[in-house]
């Protein structure tokens, strides 16, 4: 005879197995980025989550890891290659270390405005660069956006390249950017973004450069008094997937990831445009002195050697194709 105790244990065992099976029905997708929950990347991450969960009818659930909780952008790209993270929204800052073909996009003053940059990235040329990720254990899902980068610092108003003389400026871990700042006269200090706020607070570096989107999302006014709208480089971003997850999926499933990434990029670009319209006023309200009327010609001239160094190493083909299109 079965005791009441044994019966209860058997039923609860069956229930546990049932719950476990249900839990396995959805695959959790871990998505990482380095910015805060209020940032344009979070707007993009939310759009990705909404689209993937809807398109897959709950087969995939997306968990967002924000504010660099999975590390800096370089570390997260490595994570994609070894499968510790599934999807990452990152600037191209550290990407050239993995996919050198993307360095061309980081050249200063390559694009004049948002329309031009978006148009190039949405063309077959952008698709070609997305494809290149495949040669480096990464999957390029869609081009998204960080924005035109501007210079902030704690020391003085910057109006000309000469004003940057000796200024310790944190740059991304990107050799094209470092060279450009060296040519201007500044002292470039490459550093992962999660370390930056403390470095500015402690005075390890005097300045940094990032789009309005990032300056707003990171409350940089707390540690930086001056902003100069240099717009010295357009900073593309990309939604990358891990081949460890995506290679094991069907074409239909991979299609959902691509579609979700495109939805993410659209939402992000809209948020970037909104912050371009409203962000400067917000930064001024928070006490930053903003220099808006910058003559960019001397900056353009100062960074010219970065082009020569780039083309001597990577050739001119892609650069010329972009310049023809832009």
193 touching ligand PAF, by CB under 6 A:
yes
**What does the radius of gyration of the chain's CA atoms come to, in whole angstroms?**
22
| Residues in binding contact with ligand PAF, number by CB under 6 A | 13
**Burial zone of 265 (CB within 10 Å; 0-12 exposed, 13-18 middle, 19+ buried):** buried
- Buried b / exposed e across 24-60, counting CB within 10 Å, b at 16+? eeeeebbbbbbbbeebbbbbbbebbbebbbebbeeeb
Which range of residues in 85-93, 222-230, 242-250, 290-298 is near ligand PAF by CB under 6 A? 85-93
Which of residues 55 and 191 has its CB atom nearest to ligand PAF in the complex? 191
CB of 34 or CB of 183, closer to ligand PAF: 34
Question: CA–CA separation, 179 vs 209, rounded Å?
Answer: 14
Main-chain phi, psi angles of 228, to 5 degrees: -115, 125
Choose among 150, 290, 114: nearest CA to 232. Answer: 150
CA 91 to chain centre: 3
**Site membership for ligand PAF, residue 188 (CB under 6 A):** no
Smallest distance from the beta carbon of 23 to ligand PAF, in angstroms? 33
The reply to whether 151 sits near ligand PAF by the rule CB under 6 A is no
- Using CB atoms within 10 Å of the CB of residue 248, give its burial: 0 to 12 exposed, 13 to 18 middle, 19+ buried: exposed
91 touches ligand PAF by CB under 6 A: yes
**Distance in angstroms (rounded) separating the CA atoms of residues 191 and 156:** 22
- Give the range of 23-31, 90-98, 107-115, 291-299 binding ligand PAF by CB under 6 A: 90-98
**H helices present in 185-250, as ranges:** 196-202, 212-217, 243-246
Residue numbers 227-246 binding ligand PAF by CB under 6 A = 235, 237
Least distance between ligand PAF and beta carbon 7 (Å): 57
Could you give the string, one character per residue 131-150, with x where binding to ligand PAF holds by CB under 6 A and - elsewhere?
---------------x----
Q: Is 106 in the site for ligand PAF (CB under 6 A)?
A: no
Instruction: Compute the distance between CA of residue 109 and CA of residue 113 in angstroms, rounded to an integer.
Output: 10
**Least CB distance to ligand PAF at residue 172 (A):** 5
Residue nearest to ligand PAF (CB): 91
With beta carbons less than 8 A apart as the criterion, state whether 63 and 45 touch: no
Interacting positions 245-264 with ligand PAF (CB under 6 A): none
- Rule CB under 6 A: say whether 34 interacts with ligand PAF: yes
Among 56, 66, 210, 224, binds ligand PAF (CB under 6 A): 210
Rank residues 195 and 266 by Cβ distance to ligand PAF and give the closer one.
Answer: 195
Q: Which stretch binds ligand PAF (CB under 6 A): 3-11, 42-50, 88-96, 241-249?
A: 88-96
Check binding of 93 to ligand PAF (CB under 6 A). Answer: yes
111 DSSP 8-state letter: -
Q: Is 92 in the site for ligand PAF (CB under 6 A)?
A: no
The nearer residue to ligand PAF, 172 or 302, going by C-beta atoms, is 172
Per CB under 6 A, contacts with ligand PAF among 293-312 are none
* Residue 86 contacts residue 29 (beta carbons within 8 Å): yes
Q: 75 — alpha (psi -120 to 50), left (phi > 0) or beta?
A: alpha
Establish if 268 lies at the interface with ligand PAF (CB under 6 A): no
Question: d(Cα 326, Cα 57) in Å, to the nearest integer?
Answer: 39
Write down the least CB distance from residue 18 to ligand PAF, Å.
Answer: 43
How buried is 87 (Cβ within 10 angstroms: 0-12 exposed, 13-18 middle, 19+ buried)?
Answer: buried
Give the footprint of ligand PAF on this chain (CB under 6 A). 34-35, 73, 90-91, 93, 146, 172, 193, 210, 214, 235, 237
């Amino acid at each position: 005879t079965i005791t009441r105790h044994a019966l209860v244990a058997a039923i609860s065992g069956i229930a546990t197995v049932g719950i476990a099976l249900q839990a396995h029905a959805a695959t959790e997708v871990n998505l990482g980025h380095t910015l805060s929950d209020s940032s344009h990347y979070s707007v993009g991450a939310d759009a990705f989550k909404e689209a993937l969960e809807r398109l897959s009818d709950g087969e995939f659930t997306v968990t967002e890891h924000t504010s660099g909780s999975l590390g800096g952008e370089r570390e997260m790209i490595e994570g994609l290659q070894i499968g510790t993270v599934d999807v990452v929204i990152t600037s191209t800052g550290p990407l050239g270390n993995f996919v050198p073909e993307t360095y061309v996009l980081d050249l200063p003053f390559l694009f004049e405005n948002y329309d031009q940059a978006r148009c190039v990235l949405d063309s077959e040329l952008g698709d070609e660069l997305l494809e290149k990720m495949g040669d480096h254990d990464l999957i390029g899902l869609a081009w998204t956006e960080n924005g035109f980068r501007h210079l902030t610092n704690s020391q003085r108003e910057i109006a000309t390249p000469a004003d940057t003389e000796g200024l310790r400026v944190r740059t991304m871990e990107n050799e094209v950017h470092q060279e450009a700042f060296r040519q201007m006269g500044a002292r470039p200090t490459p550093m992962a973004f999660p370390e930056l706020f403390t470095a500015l607070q402690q005075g390890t570096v005097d300045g940094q450069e990032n789009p309005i989107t990032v300056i707003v999302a990171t409350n940089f006014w707390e540690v930086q008094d001056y902003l100069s709208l240099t717009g010295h480089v357009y900073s593309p971003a990309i939604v990358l997937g891990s081949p460890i997850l995506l290679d094991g999926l069907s074409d239909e499933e991979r299609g959902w990831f691509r579609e979700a990434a495109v939805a993410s990029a659209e939402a992000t670009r809209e948020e970037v445009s909104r912050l371009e319209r409203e962000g400067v006023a917000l930064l001024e309200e928070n006490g930053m002195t903003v220099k808006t009327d910058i003559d960019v010609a001397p900056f353009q001239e100062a960074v010219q050697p970065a082009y020569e160094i780039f083309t001597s190493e990577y050739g001119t083909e892609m650069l010329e194709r972009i310049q023809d299109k832009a």
